[in-house]
Structure 1
Amino acid sequence: MKPFSLLGLVASFAGVCSANFDLYIQIATFYNGPDFSQVQRQWAIYESDPSCGQAVDQPWYYDSEDVSGATGVRCSGSGCDPTGAASDITELEMNLGFGNDVWHWTIYKDRPRGQNGGYLMYGLDGNTYGECIVFPGDSWTCDQEAFLILNGARKFRCLTQYTVSDIQG
């Protein structure tokens, strides 16, 4: 193979393989004594399948009906439940910014797809910042904390130039 054609092949994969993060839905059940528990839907991003220690320690985002002015994730469609198929999610808005950082994207099932067949990540400015492919398969339960049981299910792998470290500092 000629050197220039090999360089072109490598360059063509650079945008696809630059970084990624996996998006999980989590159900956190908090126990505060024998007569009280609280169940909370959360979302979290990981570089890969998390251990229980990582799942418990990782920052998470509230499941919300409106994330335009606050961090969180807004999800529409029957796939938003932990047991639902990610392909049944019709719209998912992620506002993952902390402080002055803006990490705010929305994916839409009914819009054009990315080069890998995923849902394009639209920023607030209308530009695309990667794509999220349906990526089920990893789910877990962590009950190593006496007051918390955490159940998680992966929904998407988002292929973008941004990493978990970029987003969460």
Structure 2
Amino acid sequence: MNLSLLLSAIGASGALADFYVFMTHHTSPSTDFKNYQVHDFTPRTWDEMTKMYRWPEKSDVSGRKLGVRYKGSGCGYNAIYKDRNWGMYGRDGVKYGDCEITTGNDFTIIEQNEKVVGHHKFKCRSRFTAAQINQGRG
């Protein structure tokens, strides 16, 4: 099974930057849900965590594979493929970055009755920054 991670971004320079993908688990007396966030660093405060978009988990549209699908506007999408050594590729087949599975640097943030636990999933080196990915959401 391939894990496809589709990311949208608006424009990008040729310079490489790091970004991190976290699976986040949000709980409160009235909610319990999981989603994904893209950050330039491990968030330590509620403000740092909430300023990044919460990407919902959805079925991957490429056949029967399940994964995380980030749909947005901008230059298209990129996918992180397990069977391509965790490379990040665009729809045009061009490799736009490299990712690696990571653990550690998880975070827990509590604000009043809400708790968010973030589990570090990927570290990526790409021409896209976390800010560009989050601005490109649709």
Alignment TM-score, normalising by the size of structure 1: 0.61
- CA distance in 2 between counterparts of 1:107 and 1:48 reads 19
Amino acid at match of 1:124: R
Deviation at 1:22, TM superposition (A): 0.2
Offset of residue 158 of structure 1: 0.8
Q: Give the deviation of 1:29 after TM superposition.
A: 1.2
SS at match of 2:103: coil
- Is 1:63 the counterpart of 2:57? The answer is yes
Q: Aligned runs of 1:1-169 on 2, under 5 Å?
A: 18-31=16-29, 37-53=30-46, 54-66=48-60, 76=66, 92-95=67-70, 97=72, 100-102=73-75, 104-111=77-84, 113=85, 119-146=86-113, 148-169=114-135
Q: Aligned AA for 1:150?
A: V
Larger radius of gyration: 1
CA gap 1:126/1:157 in 2 versus in 1, 3 angstroms: same
Residues 154, 67 of structure 1: alpha-carbon distance in 2 compared, 3 angstrom cutoff: farther
The structure whose residues are more often helix, as a share, is: 1
Could you tell me which runs of 5 or more consecutive residues in structure 1 were left unpaired when the two chains were aligned. Answer: 1-14, 32-36, 69-74, 77-91, 114-118
Q: Deviations over 1:87-112 (max 9, x none)?
A: xxxxx554253xx324522222222x
Q: What are the superposed Cα offsets for residues 7-63 of structure 1, whole Å, 9 maximum, x if unpaired?
A: xxxxxxxx7x721210000011133xxxxx321111001101111221133211001
Aligned residues: 119
Is the CA contact (8 Å cut-off) linking 1:26 and 1:44 kept in structure 2? yes
Shift of the alpha carbon at 1:66?
A: 3.9
Q: Percent identity?
A: 26
Provide the C-alpha distance between the structure 2 equivalents of 1:150 and 1:67, rounded to a whole number of angstroms: 28
* C-alpha distance in 2 between matches for 1:139 and 1:59: 18
Q: Equivalents in 1 of 2:75, 2:56: separation in Å? A: 16
Q: TM-score of the superposition, structure 2-length normalised?
A: 0.73
Instruction: Report which structure shows greater RCO (CA 8 Å, sep ≥6).
Output: 2
Runs of 4+ off more than 6 Å: none
